[in-house]
Amino acid sequence: MSCDDNDVDCAEVLDRVYAFLDHELGEDRSLTYTEIRAHLDECSPCMSTYDIERVIREAVARSCGCEHAPDELRSKIRARIREVRVQISQTP
């Protein structure tokens, strides 16, 4: 899937939304921070997904204070979110 006004693939942006939110996009990635930001500004479906992720992170941060989730838990949550995203995208 790709937006009409943008050459960047939506799936590629959404796959990198976590790294984008964490400011952890490495130079080895195919999309830069600027490219992802531009895509989000132009693509309302991707921006909606980004906003949901951002709001969830803010709520968790407020609830958990300074504590950080263990890496294993973070990986499980990310995997489950990806599964749900696939299920939603395959629903007619």
**Residue 56: predicted pLDDT:** 84
Contacts of 5 (CB under 8 A, 6+ apart): 42, 43
Identify the DSSP state of 37: H
Mean pLDDT of the chain: 79
Rounded to two decimals, what is the model's pTM?
A: 0.58
**49-84 pLDDT per residue, tens:** 888 888 888 887 777 766 777 889 888 888 888 888
Alpha-carbon gap, residue 63 to 36, rounded angstroms: 28
> How confident is the model at residue 1, as a pLDDT?
46
> 91, 17, 12, 2: which is closest to 55 by C-alpha?
17
